Amino acid sequence: MVWLPGAYHGAQDFVTAGFAEAVRTRRAALDLIFVDLELAHVGDRSALLRLRSDIVLPARAAGVSLWVGGISLGGLFALDYAASFADELDGLCLLAPYLGSRIIAREIAQAPGLAAWQPGELAETDEERRIWRYIKNRRAGPPPLYLGFGEADRFAGAHALLAAALPADCIDTIAGGHDWPTWLKLWERFLESRFA
């Protein structure tokens, strides 16, 4: 599983928060790769293309099953990857993903809802509309998409819009906010439900 961090976070933060230790203590058959991203990569597809060329395609060529996980802004990157190259992933694990501005969330809610919303013409750099079009058009089949978030998360309104498009067994909500303790608990619950 390749993990993409949120804004102002990096690969080391996953280790410090206990993500690797959670895998070790459960003896899960899962290798982790933690990737560094920079805010400069928002709207710049070079980070996705490098992820694809350096990690995803070599793993696929070796026959490795590959999930991509993202926290906060990393969730936006993970969804953008899936929207662009969905057939290259075996699953997505999104913890409190940033799903775009409140403007687009309000637009979808007023449509009313994702089924009625129309993304319109997309610019190459419009990752927000691209990911919401992907969410709208994807089916319940592969790759599976798991969503976890804290009930007091500042992006919970957008998370609810995404949750409405997913099967109930792919959604996990717990008490908590937009923080590492909440994300670690969601990660542990994901591991126990998917990799026990």
pLDDT tens per residue, range 49-71: 889 999 999 999 999 999 999 99
Q: Are 138 and 83 in contact (CB under 8 A)?
A: no
How far is CA 59 from its chain centroid? Answer: 19
Whole-number percent of the chain with pLDDT over 90: 68
- pLDDT-derived band at 39 (thresholds 50, 70, 90) equals low
> Is 190's pLDDT higher than 90?
yes
134 bridge partner residues: none
Rounded Cα distance, 94 and 194, in Å:
14
Domains in the chain, please, with CATH? 2-194 (3.40.50.1820)
pLDDT of residue 26: 95
Rounded Cα distance, 149 and 156, in Å:
7
**Winning range, highest mean pLDDT, from 36-50, 59-73, 113-127:** 59-73
pTM for this prediction:
0.92
